[in-house]
Amino acid sequence: MKHKYKPIREIHRKLKKSLSRGTLSKWIQDLILWGIVEEDYIKDNKKEKLLKITEDGIFTLKFINAARKRN
């Protein structure tokens, strides 16, 4: 055999990965439910939303960064 065998699943891992809108929307909704992010609407714009990190979100981010530094 001239070529090394590669299973199909390994070939697909190299493809460009991207988030779908549905996945990102679900993650954002979870963050809102957990109180990490707040959602606000932009005045006179029905399509765009403004997402802001809350005080709990800032604490969570600091906690995650501290845990990464220890490992």
**Residue 10 belongs to a domain:** no
Query: Which residues face 51 on adjacent strands?
Result: 39
**Residue 14 belongs to a domain:** no
Q: Is the pLDDT of residue 2 over 50?
A: yes
Domain count across the chain: 1
- Enter the pTM of the model: 0.63
Residues whose CB falls within 8 Å of the CB of residue 38, separated by 6 or more in sequence, listed in order:
32, 51, 52, 53, 54
Q: What is the pLDDT of residue 6?
A: 59
Residues whose CB falls within 8 Å of the CB of residue 55, separated by 6 or more in sequence, listed in order:
none
Q: What is the pLDDT of residues 47-67, one digit of tens each?
A: 888 999 999 999 999 999 998
**Residue 41 belongs to a domain:** yes
**Residue 24 belongs to a domain:** yes
**Residue 48 belongs to a domain:** yes
Sign of CA dihedral 61, 62, 68, 71: negative
**Residue 51 belongs to a domain:** yes
Q: What is the pLDDT of residues 17-44, one digit of tens each?
A: 677 888 889 999 999 999 999 999 888 8
Query: Which residues face 50 on adjacent strands?
Result: 40
Q: Which domain holds residue 25?
A: 19-70
